[in-house]
């Protein structure tokens, strides 16, 4: 009997000890693939000074938004297109006041050979062009808009190779799987590929809205940090324009 009481006491103390030890908090973020370099730095910096485990899922903003609408457990969504966050607001997943446009970006044509402008894509020497899938990849949607306004889309649409996200489009050009591609300037930063700026008048403004989905103290604190001066310095170091 004494032995049973002793065991019960040990189990009770063990249970109390476990309950008194606070579990490390977690934050789950879904973010555009083009943000990976900058957010990886911000994630490490934040975890150094906060007892939080940040898990970031990178991908095409459209695909990520669809996952969130389907019920994926996500606390924050950092999109490469305002329309994807607007869809979540309409679906009552995000409150209108819990989203803020944070960054801006630009498009650039990357290629293995020198080009003067996007009209060069019509040339016979350019056989394959990497572009993100417009329906789910904002960079692809901006690229298609650009090519249509420039009057070259219908002339080159048979050359287009669609990719799952903007980073894959860059990789296709770097590895020689395509002759050219359209990506963000931030993705092309540091690449050895030839770069040709794209006129911003040819596409809608490229903005990055940040949305708070789970409105608790832990998630909101990181939501605010992602808009802080410290975070902005990191974004700028990777070529983003802060708002």
Asked whether residue 172 is marked as a ligand-binding residue, the answer is: no
Distance CA 230, CA 148 (A): 38
Question: Could you tell me which of 87, 111, 108 has the C-alpha nearest to residue 99?
Answer: 87
Helix pair angle (82-90, 61-69), 10° resolution: 10
Phi, psi of 190 (to 5 degrees): 95, -10
**139 marked ligand binding residue:** yes
**56-59 long-range CB contacts below 8 Å, 24 or more apart?**
56/28, 56/29, 56/30, 56/31, 57/28, 57/29, 57/30, 57/31, 58/31, 58/32, 58/33, 58/165, 59/30, 59/32, 59/33, 59/164, 59/165
Specify whether the CB–CB gap between 193 and 174 falls below 8 A. Answer: yes
Q: Annotated binding residues for molybdate, as ranges? A: 34, 61, 139, 166, 184
Binding-site positions = 34, 61, 139, 166, 184
């Amino acid at each position: 009997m004494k032995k049973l009481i002793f065991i019960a006491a040990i189990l009770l103390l063990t249970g109390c000890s476990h309950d008194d030890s606070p579990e490390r908090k977690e934050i789950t973020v879904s973010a555009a693939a083009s943000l990976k370099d900058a957010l990886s730095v911000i994630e490490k910096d934040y975890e150094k000074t906060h007892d939080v485990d940040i898990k970031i899922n990178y991908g095409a903003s459209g695909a990520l938004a669809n996952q969130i609408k389907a019920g994926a457990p996500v606390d924050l969504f950092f999109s490469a297109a305002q329309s994807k966050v607007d869809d979540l607001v309409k679906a009552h997943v995000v409150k209108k006041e819990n989203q803020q446009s944070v960054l801006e970006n630009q498009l650039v044509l990357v290629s293995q050979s020198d080009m003067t402008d996007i009209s060069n894509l019509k040339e016979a020497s350019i056989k394959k062009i990497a572009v993100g899938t417009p329906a789910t990849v904002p960079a692809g949607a901006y690229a298609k808009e650009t090519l249509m306004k420039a009057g070259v889309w219908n002339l080159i649409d048979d050359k287009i190779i669609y990719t799952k996200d903007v980073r894959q489009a860059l990789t296709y050009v770097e590895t020689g799987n395509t002759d050219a591609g359209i990506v963000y300037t931030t993705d092309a930063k540091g690449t050895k590929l030839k770069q040709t700026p794209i006129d911003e008048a040819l596409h809608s403004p490229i903005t990055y809205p940040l949305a708070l989905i789970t409105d608790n103290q832990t998630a909101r604190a990181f939501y605010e940090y992602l808009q802080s001066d410290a975070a902005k310095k990191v974004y700028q170091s990777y070529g983003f324009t802060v708002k």
